[in-house]
Amino acid sequence: MPPLKYHQMSVFERKVMVGGNMWNDAVREIPLALDDKGRRTVPGADRLAAVARDRCAITFASPNFAHPGTRMVPVARDASSPFVLPTLDSVRERRYPLHLEVYAYADRKPGEPLEANAKAFLRFVLSRDGQRLIEQGGKWLPLTADVAAGQRARLDAKD
């Protein structure tokens, strides 16, 4: 499991456990660690390696960390929905029920325009270059071009 303080677990609790938080006592947390150069590592690969060693184990991890001896399990939103595997397309299109979303917020007084620096930052995040940097980071998927354009239009409409 990832460290419980990160939002993956709160998303899992909300979507799978319907808001509950009663985890099995045997849940094992695999924390973020530092590599030999002092850089923070992402524990997804470690989690899947641990699952490969324990035939009764299960984890919630990115398919990017695929590991021999593990397999992805399709899940359904509810009893009447189709089962969906986590693929690039199913996550990007929000068909995969356990997709994670990250939001950017800016503080402004109601009825007043957004501060110029905050607006410029958000425009960059929503730009092609900003989305490319997000993808290069390797942790998050970029928005689709249509979604990014729609968010830029909403940002411009706030003036």
Give the residue extent of every domain in the chain. 7-92, 116-157
Mean pLDDT of the chain: 82
Residue 23's φ and ψ, nearest 5 degrees, are -85, 150
What DSSP element (H or E) covers 145?
A: helix 145-157
- Quick: pLDDT tens for 40-82: 777 777 888 888 888 888 887 777 777 788 888 899 989 999 9
Task: Please give the helix or strand (H or E) that residue 51 lies within, else none.
Answer: helix 44-53
Q: Which of 31, 5, 12, 42 is nearest to 137 (CA)?
A: 42
Percent of the chain past pLDDT 90, that is, above it, reads: 22
